[in-house]
């Protein structure tokens, strides 16, 4: 039976919650409701107050007392029989009875919340795991888990008043509508009934209203879990059994008889221990944590975190086993973290990594920084922009629809048209600021150095990420030669000799646009021009604008030639 | 006030005005009109000079009178050339009568140089004065009598042609006529305009009198405003005096070249990291799920991988290939742990899914690429990488943001050196002396820790997350030593340093905001 409740402060609780990677996010004094944020998505046992309390209690008591229902097995347990057809539909089931805990209002709310979290989050919206709770008394054992024709079976489901067939439930019952796709394409569906053909439920959709509705005051329950992964199914049942046992119930296992092989055999008595003992060397733990503790500290730390631990003399190995409500041990490092959490992160003395390393920037970043310094010297204000934007800004408003310059990396799952493609060039980012800033005094000289994504099917990722310098001048008499002078000085100081070759580009005025070509290699580095009045109109910009772009990634490539 | 200093920093315009007061010592006050005449200054220049002198308390305002002034509107100027409608109509009717014809009102309204409303108003007045008769059929007949208002109008147009005169200078009957034909609300097409002119008169203050005397002693003409090459060339500057400037005035603003304050903040972080021995890494905006998630041991069914968390690329949807041996090693590790000592996730790894292209959702993808590219051991790496999340944009969520992340590899790497590194970050990046290490969860690290620091200005805040990469991450990528993975959450610090409250303002389009924001870090 649980101990008498005791009062603790919120800050004390917050400290204890580090044991479960949790944090108090809110407390309502009137209702006593506590909101706790949990980080660990691999510990479904902690997604309920029973599990959090259990982890804290074990730490305070120093050891986890094994649940009797796992060691003291009844000689002739109640039976649950599985129909062979289920192997290809929803193959696994686990169940147990719980007696002697009288369900309170709060207890029922927690039970339902745990059931929903296990099915929705852990069970991925009931696909892998779904949970049913029943009143035990009316049920005649053995229970049968069978496949039926959905038109042949009828009962009154939870939440409605009328008898309907399973097909009708799929079509009209809210749960049928929500979860029906899990059974899409199945001509036969899962069905749970007792020995006298009383319907229990239609997993994973809905329980029967007669037997499958637990009420406040009930003190004999049946818990059943079905699913597609037997380890997950059993783990979910183990968690629910531990929770009810912690509330004072006696758990009675049920033997599940399969007509086919399962990873746990053909007869599985549930709940049952899932994880096998595992040997870990003390050295692994000490090396990873950077501290020598000795085997006894490790044993104590793990035992007060719920593990069963045995130490073999002289071998410097510890044998550890997870408690039944956990199945998240993939690697020795998982145990290492539990040792650290049990001891408390605060008990570890930080130590500086001592090995010498040389710091530095990539060549591209060095070139970018140098170019930014030069642009500032030329009187330009740096801006920064989102890279994710709209085709309207990057392409249409630039008169680039259907041209090679208008190709972009686009998003498949668009949330908002404003954020649906990556910029393929820099000029629109500069125009975005210009268009919004007519009231900031002129002249405007803007630049940005940043990344763009250029579609390229010869690249394994379908695009290249390149760094671009873009610059713009806007004022009442802005013209080509003013910006050309800036470009000329810039490239001189970057050490590039170049020529401008006239081109046609829809974003710029014909005859006032050219590509920037490195003289010695004839490699194209960028472009410069006066923006087309129609582009300015689309952006609602009322002064002439000239702009250039230089591909800095290509500049770096050029250095390496 | 010293007499010399009182006139030293006067503008030439101010001196011109004071000069007038100097030559009219006997007069106690001078009006704006008198000053305008005496100085010959344009009215805007004069009012500027007077304003400055009043502000310097050299002149005082003695009186203020409001005078209605009459002037011609553009329409009035047309009347000067063509005659007023009264006159034109009268002479047209007389001319017609002389030839024995009768003009109708409609005839007159049809004339190009007359406005229909002007015609009916003028005819009404002429009829009232007895100069015209309207007979049967709307025909007009001259009575031969003169029209006093037509006469008066002609006189007024003449007098006001190129001159503005006070309304009070006209006789009573002319004043009435002017008021009737003046621009008012609702009748803008009138020949006259009456404007109230404020006439002020000014006198010297005692300080002003001292300044005038000082000016007289100095002589008015020697001053030069600007040192010019000519003055330097022939040495003429030696005989000149240079006007002193009022340097306390605010200067005009200029547009300076400047780095973006958020970029400066990131630059500061970047150089801190380089100073701590970190080498920069760079990556691609578009990544495969393989490098973005699979290598980080996030199972392919992980909820953070679905379409509500990550942006998927539309075309092409998949990468052409993924480098071996990494693909098969990672697949094996996911399935049953491979040679990593792990049990794996126990599901069937989908190679096609691994090739799916996404917008990089975490900077750790760059670290994973580095691990696979034979990094230095010992080694420290960082990246400031643009990442994308499928998030509703608001004041605290951006869809497109920078992550500052990195790795540290070495034989001496363990949980305690991880904490030591985080201590260093707390001190160097956030200037924090107090830190707290809190257990955390990341799919790719074990143990995992969150770094909380007490920032000198912000109080307790989460500065970053870190951990030791799981062997399931490092071993398949060919790294056998322990590796720290760390990430810093710096946007909140940046926002405080820049004085902004909306994360979207980090990439604002408001040039005024960018120009005026000081980065204080």
List the CATH number of the domain containing B499: 3.30.930.10
- How many domains does the structure of chain B reveal? 3
Which candidate, B374, B373, B361, places its Cα nearest to that of B403? B361
For residue B430, count other CB atoms closer than 10 A to its CB.
22
- Find the domain containing B44 and state its range: 3-58+205-220
Token pair of B518, please? 């000081």
pLDDT tens digits for range A257-311: 999 999 999 999 999 999 889 999 999 999 999 999 889 999 999 999 999 999 9
- Output A475 or B213, whichever has higher pLDDT: A475
**Domain co-membership, B158 together with B212:** no
Q: How many CA atoms lie within 13 A of B441 on its CB side?
A: 17
Q: In the prediction, which pLDDT does B243 show?
A: 80
Taking 50 as the threshold, does the pLDDT of residue A204 lie above it?
Answer: yes
Q: Would you tell me the crossing angle of helices B172-180 and B148-160 to the nearest 10 degrees?
A: 80
**Domain co-membership, B455 together with B512:** yes
**Domain co-membership, B392 together with B505:** yes
Contact assignment for A435 to B509 by CB distance below 8 Å: yes
Taking 50 as the threshold, does the pLDDT of residue A512 lie above it?
Answer: yes
- Output B226 or A448, whichever has higher pLDDT: A448
Interface test with B, best of A279, A291, A331 (most B CBs within 10 A): A331
Q: Where along chain A do the CATH 3.30.56.10 domains lie?
A: 281-345
CA distance B284 to B369: 10
For chain B, say whether A353 makes contact (Cβ under 8 Å).
yes
pLDDT tens digits for range B111-164: 777 777 788 888 888 888 888 888 877 788 888 788 888 888 888 888 888 788
SS3 B127: helix
For chain B, say whether A332 makes contact (Cβ under 8 Å).
yes
Residues 150-189 of A with CB under 8 A from B: none
**Domain co-membership, B113 together with B215:** no
Taking 80 as the threshold, does the pLDDT of residue B42 lie above it?
Answer: yes
**Domain co-membership, B470 together with B394:** yes
Least confident window among A135-144, B101-110, B126-135, B229-238:
B101-110
Which candidate, A45, A332, A301, places its Cα nearest to that of B446? A332
Q: Report yes or no: B7 and B58 within 8 Å, Cβ to Cβ.
A: no
Question: Terminal CA-to-CA distance of chain B, rounded, Å?
Answer: 46
* Averaged pLDDT, B490-499: 85
For chain A, say whether B475 makes contact (Cβ under 8 Å).
no
Token pair of A232, please? 């997950």
Which candidate, B259, B519, B285, B267, places its Cα nearest to that of B400? B285
Q: What residue has token string 């470009």?
A: A487
Q: How many CA atoms lie within 13 A of B379 on its CB side?
A: 22
Residues 204-263 of A with CB under 8 A from B: 231
Contact assignment for A437 to B510 by CB distance below 8 Å: yes
Return the C-alpha torsion angle B380, B384, B387, B391, nearest 10: 110
**Domain co-membership, B156 together with B300:** no
For chain B, say whether A149 makes contact (Cβ under 8 Å).
no
Residues in chain A, how many? 561
In CATH, the architecture of A281-345 is 2-Layer Sandwich (3.30)
Contact assignment for B511 to A382 by CB distance below 8 Å: no
Q: How confident is the model at residue A72 (pLDDT cuts 50, 70, 90)?
A: confident
Pairs of CB atoms within 8 A across A/B: 279
Contact assignment for B277 to A356 by CB distance below 8 Å: yes
Contact assignment for A341 to B279 by CB distance below 8 Å: no
CA distance B244 to B14: 13
DSSP characters over A424-470: S-SHHHHHHHHHH-TTSPSPEEEEEEEEEEEE-TTSTTSEEEEEEEE
Considering only CB atoms, which chain A residues are within 8 Å of B277?
356-359
In DSSP terms, B442 is beta-bridged to B445
Residues 404-463 of B with CB under 8 A from A: 408, 410-417, 419-424, 436-441, 443, 446-449
Mean pLDDT computed over every residue of chain B: 88
- Output B108 or B466, whichever has higher pLDDT: B466
Q: In the prediction, which pLDDT does B2 show?
A: 43
Considering only CB atoms, which chain B residues are within 8 Å of A365?
270, 280, 282
Least confident window among A275-284, A452-461, A478-487, B38-47:
B38-47
Q: In the prediction, which pLDDT does A403 show?
A: 96
**Check: CATH 3.30.930.10 for A363-559?**
yes
For chain A, say whether B266 makes contact (Cβ under 8 Å).
no
Contact assignment for B446 to A465 by CB distance below 8 Å: no
Contact assignment for B414 to A288 by CB distance below 8 Å: yes
Q: In the prediction, which pLDDT does A475 show?
A: 96
| CATH code at position B162 | 1.10.10
For chain A, say whether B348 makes contact (Cβ under 8 Å).
no
Taking 60 as the threshold, does the pLDDT of residue B248 lie above it?
Answer: yes
Handedness of CA A481, A486, A488, A491 (dihedral sign): negative
Q: In the prediction, which pLDDT does B3 show?
A: 42
SS3 B347: coil
Token pair of B385, please? 């990488």
- 8-state DSSP, B130: T
**Domain co-membership, B119 together with B210:** no
Q: In the prediction, which pLDDT does B313 show?
A: 97
Residue A529: phi and psi, rounded to 5, are -175, 170
Which candidate, A355, A465, A386, places its Cα nearest to that of B383? A465
Q: Where along chain A do the CATH 3.30.930.10 domains lie?
A: 363-559
* Beta pairing, strands B223-224 & B241-242: parallel
Interface test with A, best of B255, B290, B513 (most A CBs within 10 A): B255
For chain B, say whether A368 makes contact (Cβ under 8 Å).
no
Taking 70 as the threshold, does the pLDDT of residue B516 lie above it?
Answer: yes
- Closest chain B CA to residue A371: B259
Residue A247: phi and psi, rounded to 5, are -85, 0
Taking 80 as the threshold, does the pLDDT of residue B218 lie above it?
Answer: no
Share of chain B above pLDDT 70, in %: 97
A55: closest CA of chain B, how far (Å): 14
Q: Report yes or no: A224 and A134 within 8 Å, Cβ to Cβ.
A: yes
pLDDT tens digits for range A306-345: 999 999 877 789 999 999 999 999 999 999 999 999 999 9
Residues 6+ apart with CB under 8 A from A202: A153, A155, A157, A166, A169, A189, A190, A191, A192
CATH number of A73-270: 3.50.40.10
B504: closest CA of chain A, how far (Å): 9
Q: How confident is the model at residue A449 (pLDDT cuts 50, 70, 90)?
A: very high
Q: How confident is the model at residue B107 (pLDDT cuts 50, 70, 90)?
A: confident
Interface test with B, best of A275, A338, A350 (most B CBs within 10 A): A350
Q: In the prediction, which pLDDT does B1 show?
A: 40
B129: closest CA of chain A, how far (Å): 57
CA distance B147 to A321: 123
Considering only CB atoms, which chain B residues are within 8 Å of A363?
none
Contact assignment for A436 to B510 by CB distance below 8 Å: yes
Taking 90 as the threshold, does the pLDDT of residue B386 lie above it?
Answer: yes
**Domain co-membership, B116 together with B51:** no
Q: Is residue B186 part of a domain?
A: yes
- Plot region of B51 (φ>0 → left; ψ -120 to 50 → alpha; else → beta): alpha
Residues 195-254 of B with CB under 8 A from A: 253
Q: Is residue B132 part of a domain?
A: yes
Interface test with A, best of B278, B297, B311, B357 (most A CBs within 10 A): B311
- Alpha-carbon B164 to chain mean position: 42
pLDDT tens digits for range B425-459: 999 888 888 999 999 999 999 999 999 998 877 78
* Averaged pLDDT, B15-34: 83
For residue A475, count other CB atoms closer than 10 A to its CB.
16
**Domain co-membership, B388 together with B492:** yes
Q: Report yes or no: B308 and B408 within 8 Å, Cβ to Cβ.
A: no
For chain A, say whether B319 makes contact (Cβ under 8 Å).
yes
Nearest to A465 among B284, B319, B512 (CB): B284
**Domain co-membership, B92 together with B28:** no
Strands (E), B143-264: 165-166, 192-204, 223-224, 241-242
Q: What residue has token string 């062979």?
A: A84
Q: For chain A, percent helix, then strand, then coil, each to nearest 5?
A: 35, 25, 40
Return the H-helix or E-strand segment holding B497.
helix B491-498
* Averaged pLDDT, A475-498: 95
Interface test with B, best of A353, A358, A474 (most B CBs within 10 A): A353
Contact assignment for A387 to B414 by CB distance below 8 Å: no
**Domain co-membership, B193 together with B213:** no
CA distance A51 to A246: 9
- Output B139 or A20, whichever has higher pLDDT: A20
Q: In the prediction, which pLDDT does B6 show?
A: 56
Q: Is residue B246 part of a domain?
A: no
Q: Report yes or no: A48 and A55 within 8 Å, Cβ to Cβ.
A: no
CA distance A158 to A145: 19
For chain A, say whether B381 makes contact (Cβ under 8 Å).
no
Q: Where along chain A do the CATH 3.50.40.10 domains lie?
A: 73-270
Contact assignment for A355 to B422 by CB distance below 8 Å: no
Q: Is residue B134 part of a domain?
A: yes
Considering only CB atoms, which chain B residues are within 8 Å of A290?
414-417
- Closest chain B CA to residue A432: B509
Taking 70 as the threshold, does the pLDDT of residue A1 lie above it?
Answer: no
**Domain co-membership, B88 together with B41:** no
CA distance A184 to A270: 29
Least confident window among A519-528, B301-310, B359-368:
B301-310
Return the H-helix or E-strand segment holding A545.
strand A545-551
- Closest chain B CA to residue A415: B390
Q: In the prediction, which pLDDT does B31 show?
A: 86
- Output B243 or A371, whichever has higher pLDDT: A371
Nearest to B357 among A384, A457, A461 (CB): A461
- Closest chain A CA to residue B503: A386
- Closest chain A CA to residue B417: A351
* Averaged pLDDT, B313-318: 96
Mean pLDDT computed over every residue of chain A: 94
Q: Is residue B226 part of a domain?
A: no
DSSP characters over A364-428: HHHHHHHHHHHHHHTTPEE----SEE-HHHHTGGGT-TTSGGG---BBSS-S-GGGSEE-S-SHH
Q: Is residue B65 part of a domain?
A: no
In DSSP terms, B451 is beta-bridged to B437, B464
Share of chain A above pLDDT 90, in %: 87
Residues 459-478 of A with CB under 8 A from B: 460-465
Q: How confident is the model at residue B219 (pLDDT cuts 50, 70, 90)?
A: low
Contact assignment for B282 to A362 by CB distance below 8 Å: yes
Q: In the prediction, which pLDDT does B7 show?
A: 64
Residues 6+ apart with CB under 8 A from B184: B190
Q: Report yes or no: A200 and A207 within 8 Å, Cβ to Cβ.
A: yes
Residues 23-82 of B with CB under 8 A from A: none
Contact assignment for B303 to A41 by CB distance below 8 Å: yes
Q: In the prediction, which pLDDT does B431 show?
A: 86
Contact assignment for B286 to A463 by CB distance below 8 Å: yes
């Amino acid at each position: 039976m649980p101990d008498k409740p005791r009062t603790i402060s919120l800050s004390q609780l917050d400290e204890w919650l580090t044991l479960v990677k949790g944090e108090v996010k809110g407390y309502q004094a009137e209702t006593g409701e506590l909101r706790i944020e949990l980080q660990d998505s691999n510990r479904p046992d902690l997604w309920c107050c029973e599990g959090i309390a259990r982890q804290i209690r074990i730490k305070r008591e120093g050891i986890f007392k094994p649940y009797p229902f796992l060691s003291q097995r009844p000689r002739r347990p109640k039976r649950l029989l599985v129909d062979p057809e289920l192997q290809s539909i929803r193959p696994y089931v686990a169940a147990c009875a719980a007696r002697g805990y009288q369900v309170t209002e709060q207890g029922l709310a927690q039970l339902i919340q745990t059931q929903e979290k296990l099915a929705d989050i852990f069970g991925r919206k009931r696909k892998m795991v779904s949970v049913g709770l029943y009143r035990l008394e009316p049920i005649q054992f053995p229970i049968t888990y069978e496949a039926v024709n959905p038109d042949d079976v009828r009962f009154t489901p939870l939440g409605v008043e009328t008898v309907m067939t399973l097909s009708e439930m799929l079509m009209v019952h809210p749960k049928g509508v929500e979860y029906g796709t899990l059974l899409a394409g199945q001509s036969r569906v899962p069905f749970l009934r007792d020995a006298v053909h009383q319907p229990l439920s239609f997993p994973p959709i809905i329980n029967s209203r007669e037997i499958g509705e637990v009420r406040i005051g009930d003190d004999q329950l049946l818990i059943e879990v079905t699913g597609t992964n037997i380890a997950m199914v059993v783990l979910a049942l183990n968690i629910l059994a531990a929770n009810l046992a912690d509330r004072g119930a006696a758990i009675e296992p049920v033997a599940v008889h399969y007509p086919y092989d399962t990873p746990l055999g053909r007869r599985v008595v549930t709940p049952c221990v899932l994880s096998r003992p595992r040997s870990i060397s003390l050295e692994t733990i000490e090396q990873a944590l950077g501290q020598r503790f000795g085997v006894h500290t490790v044993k104590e730390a793990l035992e007060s975190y719920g593990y069963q631990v045995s130490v073999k003399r002289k071998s410097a190995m510890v044998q550890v086993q997870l408690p039944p409500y956990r199945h998240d041990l993939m690697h020795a490092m998982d145990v290492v973290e539990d040792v650290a959490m049990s001891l408390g992160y605060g008990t570890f003395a930080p130590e500086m990594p001592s090995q010498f390393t040389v710091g530095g920037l990539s060549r591209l970043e060095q070139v970018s920084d140098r170019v930014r310094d030069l642009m500032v010297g030329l009187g330009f204000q740096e801006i920064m922009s989102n890279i994710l934007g709209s085709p309207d800004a990057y392409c249409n408003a630039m008169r680039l629809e259907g041209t090679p310059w208008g190709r972009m990396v686009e998003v498949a799952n668009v949330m908002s048209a404003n954020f649906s493609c990556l910029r393929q060039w820099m000029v629109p980012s500069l125009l975005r600021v210009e268009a919004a800033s007519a009231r900031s005094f002129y002249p405007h000289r803007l630049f940005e150095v940043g990344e763009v994504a250029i579609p390229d099917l010869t690249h394994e990722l379908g695009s290249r990420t390149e760094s671009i310098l873009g610059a713009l001048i806007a004022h009442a008499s802005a013209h080509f030669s003013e910006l050309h002078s800036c470009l000329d000085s810039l490239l001189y100081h970057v050490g590039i000799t170049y020529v401008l070759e006239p081109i046609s580009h829809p974003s710029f005025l014909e005859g006032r646009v050219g590509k920037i070509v490195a003289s010695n290699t004839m490699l194209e580095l960028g472009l410069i021009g006066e923006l087309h009045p129609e582009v300015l109109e689309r952006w609602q910009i009322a002064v002439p604008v000239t702009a250039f772009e230089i591909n800095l990634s290509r500049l770096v490539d050029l250095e390496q030639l | 006030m010293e007499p010399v200093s009182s006139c030293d920093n006067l503008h030439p315009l101010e001196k011109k005005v004071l000069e007038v007061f100097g030559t009219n010592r006997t007069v106690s006050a001078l009006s704006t009109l008198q000053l305008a005449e005496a100085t010959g200054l344009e009215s805007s220049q004069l009012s500027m000079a007077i304003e400055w002198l009043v502000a310097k308390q050299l002149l005082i305002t003695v009186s203020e009178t409001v005078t209605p002034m009459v002037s011609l509107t553009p329409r009035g100027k047309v009347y000067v050339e063509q005659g007023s409608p009264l006159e034109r109509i009268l002479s047209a009717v007389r001319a017609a009568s002389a030839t024995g014809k009768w003009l109708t009102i409609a005839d007159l309204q049809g004339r190009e140089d007359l406005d229909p409303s002007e015609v009916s108003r003028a005819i009404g007045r002429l009829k009232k004065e007895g100069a015209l008769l309207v007979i049967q059929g709307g025909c007009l007949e001259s009575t031969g009598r003169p029209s006093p208002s037509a006469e008066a109008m002609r006189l007024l147009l003449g007098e006001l042609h190129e001159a503005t005169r006070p309304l009070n200078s006209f006789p009573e009957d002319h004043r009435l006529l002017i008021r009737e034909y003046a621009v008012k609300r609702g009748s803008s097409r009138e020949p006259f305009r009456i404007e109230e002119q404020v006439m002020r008169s000014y006198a010297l203050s005692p300080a002003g009198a001292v300044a005038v005397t000082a000016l007289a002693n100095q002589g008015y003409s020697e001053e030069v405003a600007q040192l010019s090459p000519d003055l330097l060339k022939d040495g003429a500057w030696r005989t000149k005096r240079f006007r002193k400037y009022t340097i306390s005035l605010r200067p005009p603003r200029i547009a300076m070249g400047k780095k973006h304050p958020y970029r400066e903040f990131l630059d500061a972080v970047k150089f801190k990291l380089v100073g701590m021995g970190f080498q920069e890494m760079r990556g691609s905006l578009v990544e495969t799920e393989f490098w973005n998630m699979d290598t980080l041991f996030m199972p392919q069914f992980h909820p953070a991988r679905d379409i509500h968390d990550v942006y998927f690329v539309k075309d092409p949807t998949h990468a052409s290939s993924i480098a071996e041996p990494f693909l098969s090693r990672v697949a094996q590790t996911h399935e049953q742990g491979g040679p990593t000592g792990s049990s794996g996730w126990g599901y069937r790894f989908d190679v096609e899914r691994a090739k799916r292209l996404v917008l990089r959702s975490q900077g750790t993808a760059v670290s994973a690429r580095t691990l696979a590219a034979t990094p230095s051991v010992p080694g420290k790496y960082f990246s400031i990488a643009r990442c994308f999340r499928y998030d509703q944009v608001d004041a605290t969520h951006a869809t497109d943001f920078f992550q500052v992340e990195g790795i540290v590899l070495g034989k001496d790497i363990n949980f305690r050196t991880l904490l030591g590194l985080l201590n260093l970050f707390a001190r160097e990046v956030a200037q924090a002396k107090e830190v707290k290490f809190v257990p955390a969860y990341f799919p790719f690290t074990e143990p995992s820790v969150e770094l909380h620091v007490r920032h000198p200005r912000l109080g307790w805040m989460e500065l970053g997350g870190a951990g030791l990469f799981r062997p399931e991450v490092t071993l398949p990528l060919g790294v056998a030593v322990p590796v720290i993975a760390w990430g810093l959450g710096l946007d909140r610090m940046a926002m405080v340093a820049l004085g902004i409250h909306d994360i979207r303002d980090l990439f604002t389009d408001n040039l005024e905001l960018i120009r005026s924001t000081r980065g204080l870090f």
